[in-house]
Amino acid sequence: MEGQDRKEQDSAPSLSRRDFVATSAASAAAAALFATGNYAYAQGSDRIRVGVIGCGGRGTGAAMNAMLSARGVEIVALGDLFKDRLDGCLNHLRDTVKNADLLKQAPDLASRLKVTPERCFTGFDNYQKVLAAGVDMVILATPPGFRPIHLKAAVEAGKHVFMEKPVAVDGPGIRSVLASAELAAQKKLGIVAGTQRRHQNNYRETIKRLHGGAIGKILGGQVFWNQGGLWKHDRRPGESDMEYQIRNWLYYTWLSGDHIVEQHVHNLDVANWVLQAHPVQCVGMGGRQTRTGPEYGHIFDHFAVDYEYPNGVRVLSMCRQQDGTDSNVSERFVGSNGDTNAAGYIGGANAWNFSGPNPDPYTQEHSDLIASIRAGNPLNEGRQVAESTLTAIMGRMSAYTGKVVRWEQALNSQESLVPTTFQFGPLPTPPVAMPGKTELR
Amino acid sequence: MIPLPAGVVRQAKAAWIGKCEVTWNEYDLYAAGIGKTGAVANPKADAVSKPSHPYGAPDRGWGKDGMPAISITYQAARRYCEWLSHKTGRVYRLPTEAEWEAACRANDSEPGDIDAVAWHAGNAGGRTHPVGQKQANAWGIHDMLGNVWEWCLTKDAKGAVRGGSYRDAASAIGFRARAVYSPDWQSTDPQIPKSKWWLSDAPFVGFRVVHVE
């Protein structure tokens, strides 16, 4: 996390656009690429036109990351449920592309922001309009509950995708994401997810060594995201349940999946990555001690989950959002031959510490996606992030019900948390889950 | 607080500087409303804008009790002083660079063995340490050098940090050591706009206060 120079990445330094067209036109890969309609880069333009769906702070940040990630990446369309959020995003982007420090990295930065009023869309159907606005790629950064719907529409429309984590809040959503990821692979569309540790050099270099046996056979580990509470918005006069919940999306499982899914997914993703597997089953517990008021919806404020991976490997997971408590955001694994924090430290027989450049992973994830698209071999992280998200969901299901939850139970769960229709109006807050009483579905 | 000799703070009857860097115990009274101040409620103090809730752990998991408050922006440090002034009915603010430098130099007294007075890259193990553990300088002030860079007031709106930190080599810390905000200090803040309150990538920045009469 140490600050590093964030230099603009040239996605294909050794390959001019003319070379790319000349070499790839002859290849079968290119034929497949053109057959699916992704021929924008062969038509005399290597611009990648991006639409942003979900214009909060992260969507706005991701839009800047995309513009800075490589030459020729343009933000051309914006979509958000709320006009005030969309306007705020556009204003911040217009200010930020004039930032002197960023202009040193990308002198033509201002010209990469090509949003026009005709390509700004609000309302629940904004994503459909963004997808129809002549974009090559979309950034999906709405609250997670909408992600499966938006991903499906984007892949069906033939768009590359950058999507924030988590990517669903329930079993049906995960199954949808897995199907969309498969369809994207068939259509040669890229999907990169906002589990940015996967694009962070200190993690990549360490985990590469772990996979090479640096700490021997990995026996177990612990993963943590313990911190204080997060933001909330006061209810405004006349605001419907639907609007209030979406503006306070952290506190409703149909929108965030609860904080184990929304936030702790990062650390669980590291566990799956290190162990090259997803859990077989888990048993979790948790509750709601410090955030008990209705302004905090119905989610928990702490979880502890014991995950069992193949071959009996166990990972203890803890996450907490309680003010005034000690913080810990980290991972640790122990092997037959040493230990590691997965993030630059390896102890034991093959002791090693990471050193070297560690570019901002939030920009790097876009650089990697854009480079892979331009190389005609797009990254597809859909399955990987769906599995990490389901790992978190099964932990929540176990903590909510008090039952052991097997992977297949979570994957095949019929419990759909997301409303079937979206309109501003009444939407009751579900009861707080009660282990032993809340049913596993 | 340590009294400063006359003349260090201009146009003040008397002045004091924090014996130690501001700790999380002190900062969280303001930032998170955690703990008891013992002071009477003051609507003006309550009206001072409060830091946002950080997504993550600004203390880097190094702990809070007795540890210097870190990852703090210039604005946040100044707001803390404003809050503290309302809360106590006395005037607190950041030191100016000249004041900070005078307090650091302590009449140009012999600074002593660097390992005895400062946490630096050679002895800190890559992290901050509880305030006040190292030997005080000739005026009785701890950690002016090393541990965390400390915000000082400047004539422009940007502020400057002085003194060096746990991640700087012993040779790089000293009363002249100075840095200003760099975008690198927030390079991994994933939101736009970036936080006005928290420096996602600068766990080496904290502050201390002065009190003037």
Minimum distance, in Å, between the CA of residue A356 and any CA atom of chain B: 16
Pairing of strands B210-212, B15-17: antiparallel
Name the residue among A184, A176, A181, A177 with its Cα closest to residue A159.
A184
pLDDT score at A13: 34
Please report which confidence band the pLDDT of residue A347 belongs to, taking 50, 70 and 90 as the band edges: very high
Architecture, CATH, for domain A16-197+362-380:
3-Layer(aba) Sandwich (3.40)
pLDDT at A6: 32
Q: Is B28 helix (H, G, I), strand (E, B) or coil?
A: helix
Q: Do A329 and B192 touch (CB under 8 A)?
A: no
Q: How many domains does chain B have?
A: 1
Cα→Cα distances B88→A160, B22, B40, B43, Å: 57, 16, 9, 12
Using alpha carbons, select from A264, A256, A251, A245 the residue that is nearest to residue A169: A256
Ordered strands of the A405-406 beta sheet = A352-353, A345-348, A338-340, A328-335, A218-227, A314-321, A302-308, A281-287, A405-406
Structural domain harbouring B155 = 1-213
Counting one residue from chain A and one from chain B, the pairs whose CB atoms sit within 8 A come to: 82
pLDDT in tens, B106-146: 998 877 799 999 999 999 999 999 999 999 999 999 999 99
Contact A3/B53, CB-based, under 8 Å? no
Q: Which of A36 and B117 is assigned the larger pLDDT?
A: B117
- For residue range A169-180, list pLDDT tens digits in order: 999 999 999 999
Contacts of A306 (CB under 8 A, 6+ apart): A282, A283, A284, A314, A315, A316, A317
Q: CA nearest A364 in B: which residue?
A: B188
Encode pLDDT of B66-118 as tens digits. 999 999 999 999 999 999 999 999 999 999 999 999 999 999 887 779 999 99
Q: How far is B58 from chain A (nearest CA, A)?
A: 9
pLDDT digits (tens, 9 = 90+) for A270-304: 999 999 999 999 999 999 999 999 999 999 999 99
State which H helix or E strand residue A74 sits in: strand A73-80
Q: Where are the domains of chain A?
A: 16-197+362-380, 201-357+387-411
Q: Which residues in chain B have Cβ-Cβ distances shorter than 8 Å to A102?
A: 183
Q: Closest approach of chain A CAs to the CA of B62, in angstroms? A: 8
- 3-state DSSP call for residue B16? strand
Does A329 contact B57 at a Cβ distance shorter than 8 Å?
yes
Query: Is the CB of residue A215 less than 8 Å from the CB of residue A346?
Result: yes
Of B192, B194, B197, B199, which to mutate for an interface test with A (greatest number of A Cβ within 10 Å)? B192
Locate all alpha helices (DSSP H) within A316-428, ordered by sequence: 361-374, 382-401, 407-411
Q: Which residues contact B137 (CB under 8 A, 6 or more apart)?
A: B104, B106, B109, B111, B117, B144
Which of B52, B188, B189 best tests the A interface by mutation, with the highest count of A CBs <10 A? B188
Are A324 and B32 within 8 A, CB to CB?
yes
Pairing of strands A405-406, A281-287: antiparallel
The pLDDT assigned to A11 comes to 34
Q: Which two tokens stand for residue B201?
A: 């990538």
Range of weakest confidence among A14-18, A105-109, B55-59: A14-18
Cβ–Cβ below 8 Å for A58 and B61: no
B53/A229 CB distance under 8 A? yes
Using the beta-carbon criterion (under 8 Å), do A329 and B61 form an inter-chain contact?
yes
For position B21, which CATH number holds?
A: 3.90.1580.10
* A230 contacts B201? CB cut-off 8 A: no
Q: Residue A194: its pLDDT value, please?
A: 97
Give A228→chain B minimum CA distance, Å: 8
Q: What is the number of other CB atoms lying within 10 angstroms of the CB of residue A64?
A: 26
- Quote the CA–CA distance of B20 and B1 in Å, as a whole number: 8
Q: Do A323 and B187 touch (CB under 8 A)?
A: no
A330-345 average pLDDT score: 98
Mean pLDDT of B1-29: 95
B40 touches chain A (CB under 8 A): no
The one-character DSSP state at A166 is: P
Residue A5 has pLDDT above 90, yes or no: no
Distance (Å, rounded) from C-alpha B37 to C-alpha B109?
A: 36
What does the alpha-carbon distance between residue A49 and residue A61 come to, in Å, rounded to a whole number? Answer: 17
For residue A303, give the amino acid letter: F
Interface contact A58-B190, CB threshold 8 A: yes
Name the residue facing A3 among B60, B184, B193 (closest C-beta).
Answer: B184
User: What's phi and psi for A321, nearest 5 deg?
Assistant: -130, 80
Q: Which residues of A touch B57 (CB under 8 A)?
A: 226-227, 327-329
Report phi then psi at A217, rounded to 5: -75, 125
Query: What burial letters (b/e) apply to A286-295, b meaning 16+ CB within 10 Å?
Result: beeebbeeee
| Percentage of residues of chain A with pLDDT beyond 70 | 90
Q: Name which of B53, B64, B183 is nearest A231 (Cβ-Cβ).
A: B53
**Among candidates B56, B191, B200 on the partner chain, residue whose Cβ is nearest the Cβ of A57:** B191
Nearest neighbour of B185 by CB, restricted to A3, A60, A228:
A3
At B34, is the pLDDT very low, low, confident or very high (cuts 50, 70, 90)? confident
- So what's the pLDDT on residue A201? 97
Residues of B in contact with A345 (CB under 8 A): none
What average pLDDT is seen over chain A? Answer: 91
| Distance in Å, alpha carbon of B205 to nearest chain A alpha carbon | 13
CATH of domain A201-357+387-411: 3.30.360.10
Given a cut of 70, whether residue B193 has pLDDT beyond it is: yes
A369 pLDDT more than 50: yes
Distance between CA atoms of A161 and A38, rounded to whole angstroms?
13
pLDDT of residue A212: 98
| ipTM higher than the 0.85 cut | yes
pLDDT of residue A147: 98
pLDDT tier, A7 (very low <50, low <70, confident <90, very high otherwise): very low
Residue A39 has pLDDT above 50, yes or no: no
Read off the pLDDT of each residue in A191-220 and give the average, rounded to a whole number. Answer: 98
CA–CA dist A129, A121 (Å, integer): 7
Q: How confident is the model at residue B38 (pLDDT cuts 50, 70, 90)?
A: low
Closest by CA to A197, choosing from A362, A7, A11, is A362
Chain A residues touching residue B58 (CB < 8 angstroms):
327
Helix locations, B17-73, DSSP H: 24-31, 43-47
Closest chain A residue to B29, measured at CA: A324
Residue of B nearest to A95 (CA): B193
Which residues of chain B have a CB within 8 Å of the CB of A329? Answer: 56-57, 61
Interface residue of A105, A326, A331 to substitute, partner B, most B CBs within 10 Å = A326
